[in-house]
Amino acid sequence: MLLRSFPLAAEEAPPFELKGSLFTLTVLHLFQLDRAVIERHLVEKIKQAPAFFNNTPVVIDLEGVTGPADGVDFVGLYELLRGHGMVPVGIRNGGPKLQAAARLAGLPMLPESRPVAAARKSEAHEPIARSRTVNHPIRSGQQVYAAEGDLIVLGAVSAGAEIIADGNIHVYGALRGRALAGIKGDVEARIFCHSLEAELISIVGRYRISEQIEPADRGKAMQIYLAEDRLVLEPLIH
Amino acid sequence: MATVIVVTSGKGGVGKTTTSASFATGLAQRGFRTAVIDFDVGLRNLDLIMGCERRVVYDFVNVINGEANLNQALIRDKRVENLYILPASQTRDKEALTKEGVEKVLNELKQSFEYVVCDSPAGIERGALMALYFADEALVVTNPEVSSVRDSDRILGILASRSRRAEQGDPPVKEHLVLSRYAPERADRGDMLSVEDVLEILGIPLLGVIPESQTVLQSSNAGVPVIMEDGSEAGAAYGDLVDRFLGKTLPHRFITTQKKGFLKRLFSGS
């Protein structure tokens, strides 16, 4: 996923962009919350591997914590870990009381990532990019839009119909209407169809009308993509 | 439970009323109690095609408004048993067709009929929407020319999205294609779309092909549904269409150019 801030003026380059990424982090599994005991053991560990504890980001796992959850001093815990070369970036697991206390100390809650939990979740797992699948032909006068993802049409798109997607467009049938892919600016978006007979094809606003499609390309299985800001039409099967 | 069938097309003049009249007559001839309703309020035609225009007392809108009961408005066909016609009002407009009113009339008809045929007006406005809204099945009438095919495509989209079945998530309206005014020799020459062209664009099952025929015009003017004209190709094609609708498997006739006989070849000088 890519979220790019919109430029405020036409000439101004966007000052930032947000991207998702995966990190490997050290997890500190806590079994009790007594600061003195933790510190004693911590000093012991650091002696074994001093180089490891050098502003190392850690996630505090509270799963194994036993004992009362009241009055836990996360601010104190945070300072203790910082003092020994660890930077807590968040917590995971633990009961609601522990989580609330951690939140007050500015430690965000991270999702569980254990295999058991992942397997349980996969039943109702949410697709990464939402694509919209249409199982019927799209008739003249109908408009279908797939927001934040691809549009997949299992059937023909009639003349006078319009299909629009933020991502790619796939038509498993004849594309006779108008197809507009990547309308929010995704220059990687493509259009795929079994038979290109479109009234209009467009990617990120670059378009071609029916007249501008070579007769040799018509009626063929084609893909359409952007290369150097120009629309390229290419047979899917050579 | 009765089946409600809409005869629709989007475009005008393609043969909706002709098809409604012959289809309803064919169902009644085969023993099914059938009512046919004219939804073209303000442009009443079905009564003329059915030859009952002189017997209209009350109409569809009168029944909707409670000014007459259904039995007073239904006209019994004099030639075919089991066939009844509910004429449109000529003095009102389509706004008189309320969803509640149409539903009430259809529900009442479904009590005593096996098939209710709704003859839709052209267009995609209120009259056409009301005619298709309650349908279980649809005969989509198309002529073999591009504008008619596109309008039929539009109507198919409306059937799939704005009918009651679509709105309530019930099984979709069953679609049938009726290709009317077909002239095989003109399709061969490329003047007209062929059966295959139309099927490729619309992608719905073909119920019948009605050949272009002088008889259709003559029988319309005479107030006789063309299905009753013995010996006419269009009438025979409508007969096949009704049989196919009722589940028979019949080959499509009148879709290929007829070979000229020996004598015809001799006299045409070719």
Asked whether residue A96 is domain-assigned, the answer is yes
Distance from CA of A25 to the nearest CA of B (A): 48
Tell me, yes or no, whether A34 and A95 share the same domain. yes
Distance from CA of A185 to the nearest CA of B (A): 30
Asked whether residue A19 is domain-assigned, the answer is no
- What is the per-residue pLDDT for A175? 97
Asked whether residue A31 is domain-assigned, the answer is yes
Tell me whether residues B153 and A136 touch, CB distance under 8 A. no
Confidence of residue A1 (pLDDT cuts 50, 70, 90): very low
Asked whether residue A111 is domain-assigned, the answer is no
Tell me whether residues B153 and A139 touch, CB distance under 8 A. yes
Tell me the pLDDT tens digit for each residue of A69-114. 666 788 888 888 888 888 888 888 877 778 888 888 888 888 765 5
Q: Which of A139, A159, A174 sits opposite B156 (nearest CB)?
A: A139
Residues facing A70 on adjacent strands: none
Tell me, yes or no, whether A120 and A81 share the same domain. no
Distance from CA of A178 to the nearest CA of B (A): 14
Q: What is the mean pLDDT of each run of 10 residues along chain B (270 residues)?
A: 95 96 98 98 95 94 95 96 96 92 97 98 96 98 96 96 95 97 93 95 96 94 95 96 97 82 58
Of A43, A74, A104, the position where a domain reaches its end is A104
Tell me, yes or no, whether A169 and A205 share the same domain. yes
- What is the per-residue pLDDT for A118? 45
Tell me whether residues A139 and B150 touch, CB distance under 8 A. no
Tell me, yes or no, whether A37 and A123 share the same domain. no
Of A104, A136, A169, the position where a domain reaches its end is A104
CB contact set of A181 (below 8 Å; sequence gap of 6+): A164, A165, A167, A168, A169, A189, A190, A191, A202, A203, A204, A224
CATH code assigned at A226: 2.160.20.70
CA–CA separation, B213 vs B220, rounded Å?
12
Q: Is the pTM value of this prediction over 0.80?
A: no
Q: For residue A74, what is the enclosing H or E element? A: helix A74-83
Tell me the pLDDT tens digit for each residue of A144-160. 999 999 999 999 999 99
Number of neighbours of residue A48 by Cβ within 10 angstroms? 7
Q: How many domains, in total, are found in chain A? A: 2
Tell me, yes or no, whether A66 and A149 share the same domain. no
Asked whether residue A48 is domain-assigned, the answer is yes
Whether the per-residue pLDDT at A33 is higher than 90: the answer is: no
Tell me whether residues A142 and B161 touch, CB distance under 8 A. yes
Asked whether residue A215 is domain-assigned, the answer is yes
Asked whether residue A127 is domain-assigned, the answer is yes
Residue from A138, A139, A194 whose CB has the most chain B CBs within 10 Å, to mutate = A139
Tell me, yes or no, whether A199 and A219 share the same domain. yes
Lowest mean pLDDT among A65-69, A116-120, A222-226: A116-120
Q: Which of B154, B200, B203 sits opposite A140 (nearest CB)?
A: B154
Tell me, yes or no, whether A66 and A168 share the same domain. no
- Phi, psi angle pair for A69, to nearest 5°: -90, -5
Tell me, yes or no, whether A79 and A136 share the same domain. no
Of A56, A72, A104, the position where a domain reaches its end is A104
- What is the per-residue pLDDT for A117? 46
Tell me, yes or no, whether A90 and A125 share the same domain. no
Asked whether residue A110 is domain-assigned, the answer is no
Contacts of B160 in chain A (CB under 8 A): 136, 139
Residues facing A17 on adjacent strands: A4
Choose among A205, A120, A138: nearest CA to A174.
Answer: A138
- What is the per-residue pLDDT for A65? 79
Angle at B21 between CA B177 and CA B118, to 5 degrees: 70
Whether the per-residue pLDDT at A13 is higher than 90: the answer is: no
CA–CA separation, B124 vs A71, rounded Å?
70
B150: amino acid identity, one letter: R
Q: Is the ipTM of this complex over 0.90?
A: no
CATH code assigned at A66: 3.30.70.260
Query: What tokens appear for B24 in the block?
Result: 């309803």
Tell me, yes or no, whether A219 and A146 share the same domain. yes
Tell me the pLDDT tens digit for each residue of A166-216. 999 999 999 999 999 999 999 999 999 999 999 999 999 999 999 999 999
Return mean pLDDT, chain A: 83
Residue A186, domain extent: 116-235
Tell me, yes or no, whether A91 and A60 share the same domain. yes
Tell me, yes or no, whether A146 and A188 share the same domain. yes
Contacts of B154 in chain A (CB under 8 A): 139-141, 160
CA–CA separation, A102 vs B231, rounded Å?
90
Distance from CA of A140 to the nearest CA of B (A): 5
Higher pLDDT, A56 or B182: B182
